[in-house]
Structure 1
Amino acid sequence: MIVAETNRLLISKFTLKDAPFFLELVNSPIWIKYIGDRKTKTIKEAEERIETGHLKSYKTHGFGFYKLLLKAENNKPIGTCGLIKRDTLEYVDVGFAMLPNYESLGLAHEASIEIIKLAKNVFKLVKIIAITTPDNDSSIKLLKKLGLIYKKKVTPFEDEEELMLFTKTL
């Protein structure tokens, strides 16, 4: 189901049929470096993550992470962008990730603009946040370009890695 569209992208809800793409995405080098190895190594594990993550979030919160489909390549899935409400953070988190061949093309920016519009206009959020590792220069640059402002360092996960927290009032 398409939730938004940009000049170059369709933004669509994930389904269990997206497991092969999701498996490729979560095992890409940049994902593993900056987001972490989620130990998703099979189609079945990818389906389980989509079910317990994406599909559950759509049902519980009305939003979640969405797949990004590139119009110029016959709607090929090339990344993800969306919103997540984490138990360990006060506000809804915006995030994004792209397959390696589609990084640094402005596609995450294009998708994030639409996701932020949905956050404000459809989901009626008043504030969003984003978290990233201090060495993820590309994400930091994109978050600033989207108008998010660095606030503080946080350790929201069990691995106790210190992350940078950015915020934006909508």
Structure 2
Amino acid sequence: MIVAETERLIISKFTTRDAAFFKALVNSPSWLKYIGDRNINTIEQAENKIKESHLKSYKTSGYGFYKLLLKTENLKPIGTTGLIKRPELEHTDIGFSLLPEYEGKGFGFESAKAVMVLAKEEFKLNKICTITLENNKKSIVLIEKLGLTFDKKVKPFENDKELMLFSKNL
């Protein structure tokens, strides 16, 4: 189901049919370096993660992470951008990730801007946040370009990694 469209992208909900793409994305070098290994090594594990995470989030929150489909390449999936309400964070978190060959081409900004419009207009969110590692310089540039500002350093998860928390009023 399509949730938004930009100049170059169709933004739509994940389904279990996206398992092969999702498996490739979560095992890409940037994902592993900056987000972490999710131990998704089979199509079945990817399907289960989509069910447990994406599909559940659509039902419980009304939103979640969406796949990015490139219009010029027959709607090839190239990444994800979306919203997630994490119990560890006060506000809904916006996140994004792209396959390596599509990084640095403006797709993260383009998709995140569209998702921020959804956050405000459709989901009636007043504020969003995002978290990232301090060494994820490309992500920080994008986050700041989107108008989010640094709030503080946090350790929201059990792994005890310190993350930078950014936020923006919508």
**Common topology (TM > 0.5):** yes
TM-superposed deviation, 1:142: 0.3
Asked if residue 97 in structure 1 is aligned to residue 97 in structure 2, the reply is yes
**Which residue of structure 2 aligns with residue 127 of structure 1?**
127
Query: SS in structure 1 opposite 2:66?
Result: strand
TM-superposed deviation, 1:40: 0.6
**Where in structure 2 are there 5+ consecutive unaligned residues?**
none
Question: How do residues 40-59 of structure 1 correspond to structure 2 at under 5 angstroms?
Answer: 40-59=40-59
Segments of 4+ moved more than 3 angstroms:
none
1:121-164 deviations in whole A, cap 9, x for unaligned? 00000000000000000000000000000000001111000000
AA at the equivalent of 1:125:
L
1:71-116 deviations in whole A, cap 9, x for unaligned? 0000000000000000111100000000000000000000000000
Give the TM-score normalised by structure 2.
Answer: 1.00
**Where in structure 1 are there 5+ consecutive unaligned residues?**
none
Query: SS in structure 2 opposite 1:10?
Result: strand
**Which residue of structure 2 aligns with residue 148 of structure 1?**
148
CA distance in 2, matches of 1:101, 1:83: 23
**Which residue of structure 1 aligns with residue 108 of structure 2?**
108
Asked if residue 71 in structure 1 is aligned to residue 36 in structure 2, the reply is no
**Which residue of structure 2 aligns with residue 23 of structure 1?**
23
Root-mean-square deviation (Å): 0.3
TM-superposed deviation, 1:54: 0.2
CA distance in 1, matches of 2:139, 2:67: 18
TM-superposed deviation, 1:70: 0.2
**Which residue of structure 2 aligns with residue 165 of structure 1?**
165
Aligned residue pairs, count: 170
**Which residue of structure 1 aligns with residue 85 of structure 2?**
85
Give the TM-score normalised by structure 1.
Answer: 1.00
